[in-house]
Structure 1
Amino acid sequence: MSLRLKINLLVSVLTLLFLSGVMALQLQNMRESVREEVVAANRVASQILKRTAWVYASQGTGALLSFLEGMGRVRSTDISLVNVHGAELYHSPPSPYKAGRDAPDWFEQMISPPPSEQFIDFPGGRMVVRADASRAIIDAWDDATVLMGSALGLLAAVNLVVFWLVGRAVRPFGRIVDALGEVEAGRFGVTLPRLPGIEAGAIGAAFNRMVLQLEDHIETERRAVRAEMQLSDSRELARWLEQHIEQERRLIARELHDELGQSVTAMRSMAVSVAQRMKAQDPQAEQAARLIAEECSRLYDAMHGMIPRLAPLVLDQFGLGEALADLVERTRRAQPGVHVALHVDMDNIDVAPDTALALYRAAQEGMTNALRHGQARNVRIELTGGAPELRLAVTDDGRGLPADAAARLGGPGHHGLRWLAERVEGLGGHFGLAPAPGGGACLEVKLPPVPQDPR
């Protein structure tokens, strides 16, 4: 049911109640008027008849009958004359006023006064004076008919006026409903003009504010979705690049180990053989051959130092713990003045290759920063945990971190830390760099054994 129809029905009910109250008061007044008129007429007739009936009655019944016939009807009063035997000698004629018409029975019962009869006794008979309210009731019925017609006309007029006024008043709400339908259909650019009326104007202004805020929120959400998609694409691209870079590093490391390593070893063996053969024949040729053998040895050592930095082949063959032990051993040989400790307490679980490589690279980066930037003398690597999380910590006693937090989390000159942080977050882990107790720095990485989507 529409608001317009509801308001119209409400006004109709209130108007009908008001008219019903007016009609009830009017009927009450009609009942009182009829009663007063009948009582007054009956009293007047009784007084006249009491004074004159005895005069004519003393002259005989015929004289009284002639008097009554000559007098006729007295207003709303019925007069009857009966003899001592109860036989009716006379009855007043019917009223000519609105003859042949009577009010409905239900209306007559509603406003009729109580029956009223008076008796005048004289020698030879009795006169009965009765109140007759039928003519007063028909007048009241005619008045009530006019009143009810007027009330119905007023009710219809009020309803038409209210229907028209309410239609004008609620017309702006139809535009608001249409605008809400546009918004529901996904067209958020709709706005409402200035609407007439205080309430409609306030609703229209609030709707326009809501649409503007909704557009802002939707645009912000779109930007966020685009940024998230771009970030996801960037992460996928970075992961793809990391995988291909690692594959190329492994290929290069294997080529160095298998091809170049064998070639350098063969060259060293041939140089040693030449030196032994030329020892007695040509000392200069022997010396040159031994120099070639020594350079081959240095080249072989340098190549074997590059291979773990390119790709930790031991990680693929023996696992994360052995790879960290190899990293520590090589660091000890390269930095004899630095004390490097390793502590591994890891549950016997399967670690995904991406996770193992990220933890190994974190240990490499922490070790490099501690020795190169922090000039540490003591470094400790800890690998602990299991499912659902592995923790790697590299702690040193070096010069500590810069005061600028942005710098120590991948600012200028710290591309390795930035790359490591993005790599860890891409695997669904946590990267942290903070001052170590007692000085130095502590690099911490937490990763699930199996990579997870950080979103």
Structure 2
Amino acid sequence: MTLRLKIHLIVGALTLLFLVALLAEQFDGMRKSVNEEVVAANRVAAQMLRRAVWGAAAQGPEALRAYLEGMGRVRSNDITLVDAAGAELYRSPPSTYKEGRNAPDWFEDLISPPPSSQSIQFPDGTLTVRSNASRAALDAWDEFVPLMGQSLLVLLAANAAVFWLVGRAVRPFGRIVVALNEVETGRFDTELPRLPGKEAGAIGEAFNRMVGMLRRNIESERRAAIAERELNDSRELAHWVAGQIEQERRSIARELHDELGQSVTAIRSMALSIAQRARGIDAESERAARVIADESSRLYEAMHGLIPRLAPLVLDNFGLREALADLVERTRRSHPDVRIELDAQLADARPSAEVALTLYRAAQEGITNALRHGQARTLRLQLRVVADGIELQLLDDGRGLPADWPEHRGQRGLRWLAERVESVGGSCSVERGSTGGVRLQVSVPVDEAAEALA
């Protein structure tokens, strides 16, 4: 049921109740008027006849009947004369007022008072005056019918006016419903014009604000989704590039180790052989050969120092713990004044190649930063299996983080490390140590570590 119909029915019902109350009041007034008229007429007629007919009655019933016939009908009363034996001598003629018409029986029963009867006893008979409300009821009916018609016209006119006015009043709400349906179908550019009426106008303005906010939120979500998709694409690309770089580093490291290493070794061996043959024969050639052998040795040492930085081949061959031990040992050799401790407790855990390489690179980056930027002299590297995965932690006693550290959070090395850790589902944090220095912590969740844990 529509709002318009509901309001129309409510107003129509109230109008009908008002008209019914008005008609009931009018009807009650008519009933009282008929009652007063009929009862009063009956009493007056009885009193008049009681005084007027005694003279005629003294002359006998026939003289009384002649008198009554000459008097005719008394309105609202039926006059009957009977003799002493009960035989009817006279009955007043029917009323000629609105002759041939009568009010409906139900109406006459409702509006007429109970019949009243007055009897006058004579020596030779009885005169009865009985009230008759049929004409008064007909008069009331003739008044009531036009009143009913007018009331019906008023009711119809009021309902038509209410229907039209309510239609105009609720028309803006129809537009609001249409706009809501359009929004439901996905048309978020829908706007309502200024609607007439205080309530409709307020709803229209609230609707426009709501749609505007919804449109902005959807646009923000769309941009966020695009940004997230682009970020994911960038991360995937970065992950792929990092993988390609690692593969290329491994390839270069193996080439250095297998090809160039053997060539440098061969050069050194040949130089030493030449020096041995030239001893005592050609001092200049012997000296040149030994210089070549010494330079080959230095080149070999430099090359073997470069290979772990390119790709930790020991990681592929022996595992994460041995790779970290090799990293620590090389750091000790290159920095004799630095104390570095390793506590690697992996038990039977066997991280996957990607997870192991990520943890190794994290340790490598942390040690490099601690020595290069923090001027640390003591480092402690811990690796252990925890309840939710594998955790690597590096503590140093260096200068700590600078005051403007938040501005350097995006520096390339740490950003690369954080992205690499996130690519395997882990987390990376860098913060001030409890006793100074810096604490680097890398955690790989259990769902990523479980792939590699035996």
TM range (shorter): over 0.9
Are the aligned partners of 1:279 and 1:286 in contact in 2 as well (CA < 8 Å)? yes
Question: Aligned residue for 1:325?
Answer: 325
Offset at residue 209 of structure 1 (A): 2.0
Are 2:389 and 2:447, in contact at CA under 8 Å, matched by a contact in 1? Answer: no
Are 2:53 and 1:53 aligned?
A: yes
- Aligned position for 2:379: 379
1:442 maps to which of 439, 444, 451: 439
C-alpha displacement of 1:424: 2.0
> What is the aligned partner in structure 2 of residue 72 from structure 1?
72
Listed as ranges, the gaps of 5+ residues in structure 1 are none
Question: What CA deviation, in whole Å up to 9, does each residue of 1:132-184 have, x standing for no partner?
Answer: 11111111112111111111100110011111111222222222222223322
Q: Give the equivalent residue in structure 2 for 1:226.
A: 226
Query: Aligned residue for 1:430?
Result: 427
Query: Does the Cα contact within 8 Å between 2:275 and 2:285 map onto a contact in 1?
Result: yes
**Alpha-carbon deviation of 1:347?**
5.1
* Aligned match of 2:452: none
What one-letter code is carried by the residue in structure 2 that aligns with 1:322?
Answer: E
Which residue of 2 is the match for residue 82 of structure 1? 82
Corresponding residue for residue 120 of structure 1:
120
**1:426-451 CA-partner distances (Å, limit 9, x unpaired):** 33322211122222111111222554
- Work out whether residues 433 and 444 of structure 1, in 8 Å CA contact, stay in contact via their aligned partners in 2: yes
What secondary structure sits across from 1:142 in the alignment? Answer: helix
Distance in 2 (CA, whole Å) between partners of 1:122 and 1:139 is: 35
Answer yes or no: is the 8 Å Cα contact 1:261–1:300 preserved in 2.
Answer: yes
> In the alignment, residue 98 of structure 2 is paired with which amino acid?
K
Shift of 1:212: 2.2
- What secondary structure, in the 3-state scheme, does the structure 1 residue paired with 2:28 have? helix
Q: Give the structure-2-normalised TM-score.
A: 0.94
Larger displacement relative to structure 2 (245-254 or 441-450): 441-450
Q: Secondary structure at the match of 2:96?
A: coil
CA distance in 2, matches of 1:429, 1:170: 60
1:267–1:296 contact (8 Å) kept in structure 2: yes
Aligned residue in 2 for 1:187: 187
Give the C-alpha shift of residue 330 in structure 1: 1.2
Task: Give TM-score scaled by structure 1 length.
Answer: 0.94
Letter in 2 for 1:199: E
Alpha-carbon separation, structure 1, partners of 2:360 and 2:84 = 143
Asked whether the equivalents of residues 401 and 408 of structure 1 are also in contact (C-alpha less than 8 Å), the reply is: no
Cα contact 1:387–1:448 (8 A) shared by 2: no
| Counterpart position of 1:19 | 19
Please provide the CA RMSD for this pair: 1.7
Q: What's the secondary structure of 2:192's corresponding residue?
A: coil
- Answering whether residue 414 of structure 2 is matched by residue 417 of structure 1, we say yes
| Whole-angstrom CA distance in 1 between matches of 2:10 and 2:350 | 77
> 8 Å contact 2:343–2:382 — kept in the other structure?
yes
The corresponding residue for 2:261 is: 261
Counterpart Cα distance in 2 of 1:116 and 1:321: 128
Secondary structure of the structure 2 residue equivalent to 1:223 = helix
- Is the CA contact 1:429–1:448 (under 8 Å) kept in the aligned structure 2? yes
- Within 5 Å, give how 1:200-349 maps onto structure 2: 200-346=200-346, 348-349=348-349
Q: What are structure 2's unaligned runs of at least 5 residues?
A: 450-454
Tell me: CA distance 1:324–1:330, structure 2 relative to 1, closer, same or farther (3 Å). same
Once the two structures are superposed, residues 243-285 of structure 1 have per-residue CA deviations (whole angstroms, 9 ceiling, x without a partner) of 1111111111111111111211222222222222333433332
For residue 53 of structure 2, give the secondary structure of its aligned residue in structure 1. helix
| Deviation beyond 4 Å, 4+ runs, structure 1 | 449-452
Match of 1:358 in 2: 358
Per-residue displacement from partner, 1:347-400 (whole Å, max 9, x unpaired)? 534423222211111100111111112121111101122452221111111122
How far, CA to CA, are the matches of 1:360 and 1:2 in structure 2? 73
* Alignment deviations for residues 403-444 of structure 1 (CA, whole Å, 9 cap, x no partner): 11224423xxx4211211222233332221112222211111
Code of the residue aligned with 1:102 in structure 2: it is N
Distance in 1, matches of 2:243 and 2:197, equals 67
Question: Residues 105 and 260 from structure 1, CA distance in 2 versus in 1: closer, same or farther, beyond 3 angstroms?
Answer: same
Distance 1:289 1:387, change over 3 A: farther
2:344 and 2:382 in contact (8 A); partners too:
yes
Distance in structure 2 (CA, Å) of the matches to 1:115 and 1:317: 130
Contact 1:366–1:443 (Cα < 8 Å) also in 2: yes
What is aligned with 1:40?
A: 40
Q: Is contact 1:195–1:204 with CA below 8 Å preserved after alignment?
A: yes
In 1, distance between residues paired with 2:93 and 2:168? 62
Aligned identity (percent) is: 63
Distance apart, 1:201 and its partner CA:
1.8
Note the C-alpha offset of 1:195.
1.9
| CA distance, structure 2, for counterparts of residue 346 and residue 270 of structure 1 | 45
User: Per the alignment, in what secondary structure is the counterpart of residue 431 of structure 2?
Assistant: strand
C-alpha contact (below 8 Å) 1:337/1:377 kept by paired residues: yes
Once the two structures are superposed, residues 209-255 of structure 1 have per-residue CA deviations (whole angstroms, 9 ceiling, x without a partner) of 22222222222222211211111111111111111111111111111
The 1:348/1:125 distance shift into structure 2, 3 A limit, reads farther
Quote the Cα distance in structure 2 between the aligned partners of 1:53 and 1:320.
146
Amino acid of the structure 2 residue aligned with 1:142: D
Bigger drift between 335-344 and 401-410 goes to: 401-410
Q: CA deviation at 1:44?
A: 0.9
1:95 and 2:95 aligned: yes
Greater displacement, 178-187 / 73-82: 178-187
Structure 2 counterpart of 1:110, one-letter code = L
Change in 2 beyond 3 A, CA 1:358/1:241: same
Cα pair 1:349 1:386 within 8 Å, conserved: no
Paired residues in the alignment total 449
1:357 aligned partner, one-letter code: L
CA distance in 2, matches of 1:248, 1:441: 32
SS at structure 2 position matched to 1:49: helix
- The Cα shift of 1:131 comes to 0.8
The change in CA–CA distance for 1:100 and 1:422 in structure 2 (over 3 A counts) is same
Contact 2:42–2:129 (Cα < 8 Å) also in 1: yes
Q: Shift in Å at residue 40 of structure 1? A: 0.9
